[in-house]
Amino acid sequence: MEMTWRWYGENNDSITLDHIRQIPGVTGAVWSLHDKVAGEEWEMESIQEVVDQITSKGLSPAVVESVNVHDDIKLGLPSRDKYIAIYIDTIKKLSQVGVKVICYNFMPIFDWTRTELYKALPDGSNALFYEKNAIQHDPKKMAQRILDGAGDFTMPGWEPERMAKLDDLFKAYEGMTEDMLFDNLQYFLERIIPVCEACDVKMAIHPDDPPWPIFGLPRIIRNRDYIKRFLELVDSPYNGLTLCTGSLGPNLDNDIPAIIREFHDRIHFAHIRNVKVYDNGDFIEVSHRGKDGNVDVYDVLKAYHDNDFKGYIRPDHGRHLWGEEKNCRPGYGLYDRALGVMYMLGVWDSLDKRKEE
Ligand SMILES: [Mn+2]
C-alpha cells in the first residue's frame, strides 16, 4: 500500500507540499489540473509543471484525481467522440510523466453532494453534513449553498459556470435511465481502456456520493451489484475502482469490507473516511477512528491487508479542527486527515506485525 494525500496545487490549497512531506508515511501527492473544466485539453507544459513541483519534494505524482468526464459523454451525445479523443490524449500525456492511476466519476451533473459544509459536531469541530430531506426539489438552492460555503475556493464539480447552466443540464438529462447511463459509460470505457492497457495507466472510477439517486438523476456506482455490473462492462484490470468508504458508507446496507474482499484486484485507489449515519438518513463526516462512526475503518484496512493490497490509499475528507475552517478547503483541512493517516498506519503496522508473528 502507498499512502498518499490529495493536493490542490500551489496557491489553490491551504496545505503545501512541505506540509505533506512531514506527515509520516505519505509518499505521494494526488493531484490534478484544477483550472481545467471537463472536456478541456491538458497541455504537457502544465502537466510537467505540477509533476516537477511534486517530485522536487520527494513525493510521487502517480495518482491523478480527477480527469473529469464531459457531460456529453455521460449523455451519449454525438459530440462525445470529440471529448473522448481529448480524454485519450490526456491519458497518454499523463502516462509519460509516471502517472499510474486516474480517478474519475460518472455522476450526472452533480459531483459529491452535501447540504452543509461546516456542521458543528458535539466536540466543537465541524464537518460536511448531508440532510436527506433538504435534497428533494431544489438543486439550484443546494448548489448556491455549496458555492457560498466554499468562499474563494473553487469546488471541483461545482464550477460556477457549470452551475449557471443547471436548467439546460437538467433538460439534457431528462429521461436518462440507469441502463442508458451504463450504456454511455460502456461506450466511453470501450474506447479508453485499450489505450490504458497500452500505456499502463489504470482507470479508477469513484463511487457516487451519496450512494443513491438525487433530484431524479440516476446514479449507478453505489453498491456491490452495480459495481459488479460496472466491472463487467469492460473486463480488464485497467477498468477499476476508487473504493471510497465515505461514499458507499451512508447506505448502511453496503458491506464495505465484503466489497473490498470481492473486488480487491480491481481496486487501484482507496479513499478512506468515516461517516456517522443518523436514524433519519442524515449523515456527517467524522474522524477516521472506527468507533466514531458507522464505517469500521479497522475492518476496511484488514480487508485490504489480508489481500496484500498494493494500490494507493489516501485519507478522504476530514473534520475541520482548531479553527482551520477559516482558511482550508471544505473537507480538506490538515489536522483531521493527518490524524487519519496516523490511525490508518497504526492499524496497518500492527496488522503487518501480527502477520510476521
Ligand atoms: Mn472519496
Residue 201 pLDDT > 90, yes or no?
Answer: yes
The pLDDT score that the predictor gives to residue 156 is 65
The helix (run of H) or strand (run of E) holding residue 208 is none
- Which one of the listed residues 244, 264, 282, 336 is annotated catalytic? 244
Domains of the chain (ranges; CATH) run 2-356 (3.20.20.150)
Confidence of residue 197 (pLDDT cuts 50, 70, 90): very high
- Which one of the listed residues 206, 264, 268, 320 is annotated catalytic? 206
Q: For 113-129, how does the pLDDT look when each residue is reduced to its tens digit (9 = 90+)?
A: 888 899 999 999 999 99
- Site of grid cell 499523463: 94
Q: Mark whether 279 is an active-site residue.
A: no
Residue 224 pLDDT > 90, yes or no?
Answer: yes
Global pTM reads: 0.94
Q: Which whole number is the average pLDDT over 122-144?
A: 84
Q: Mark whether 34 is an active-site residue.
A: no
- pLDDT higher at 59 or 161: 59
Residue 136 pLDDT > 70, yes or no?
Answer: no
Residue 1 pLDDT > 90, yes or no?
Answer: yes
Residue 161 pLDDT > 80, yes or no?
Answer: no
The pLDDT score that the predictor gives to residue 297 is 97
**Three-class DSSP category at 286:** strand
Torsion angles phi and psi, residue 267, rounded to 5 = -90, 120
- 328: Cα separation from own chain's centroid: 18
- Which one of the listed residues 111, 208, 282, 316 is annotated catalytic? 316
Q: Mark whether 317 is an active-site residue.
A: yes
The pLDDT score that the predictor gives to residue 248 is 97
How far does residue 271's CA lie from ligand 1's centre (Å)? Answer: 5
> Three cell numbers at 310?
498494493
- Site of grid cell 472536456: 39
Confidence of residue 140 (pLDDT cuts 50, 70, 90): confident
How far does residue 356's CA lie from ligand 1's centre (Å)? Answer: 31
Strand pairing category for 312-315 and 267-272 = parallel
Residue 322 pLDDT > 80, yes or no?
Answer: yes
Q: Which whole number is the average pLDDT over 67-89?
A: 97
Residue 274 pLDDT > 70, yes or no?
Answer: yes
Strand partners, 120: 126
Q: Mark whether 271 is an active-site residue.
A: yes
Q: Mark whether 70 is an active-site residue.
A: no
Q: Mark whether 103 is an active-site residue.
A: no
The pLDDT score that the predictor gives to residue 159 is 75
Distance from C-alpha of 318 to C-alpha of 15, rounded to nearest angstrom:
14
Q: Which whole number is the average pLDDT over 131-147?
A: 77
Q: Which whole number is the average pLDDT over 82-100?
A: 98
Lowest mean pLDDT among 21-35, 42-56, 88-102, 210-224: 210-224
How far does residue 37's CA lie from ligand 1's centre (Å)? Answer: 19
Task: Go through 315-324 and write b for each residue having 16 or more CB atoms within 10 A of its CB, e for each that does not.
Answer: bbbbbbbeeb
- Which one of the listed residues 271, 282, 304, 328 is annotated catalytic? 271
Residue 320 pLDDT > 90, yes or no?
Answer: yes
Q: Which whole number is the average pLDDT over 60-71?
A: 96
Average pLDDT, the chain: 94
* Residue 163 amino acid letter: M
How far does residue 315's CA lie from ligand 1's centre (Å)? Answer: 9
What region, left, alpha or beta, does residue 124 occupy, with left being phi > 0 and alpha being psi -120 to 50 degrees?
Answer: left
Q: Are 340 and 290 in contact (CB under 8 A)?
A: no
Strand partners, 127: 119
How far does residue 171's CA lie from ligand 1's centre (Å)? Answer: 28
- pLDDT higher at 243 or 156: 243
How far does residue 246's CA lie from ligand 1's centre (Å)? Answer: 6
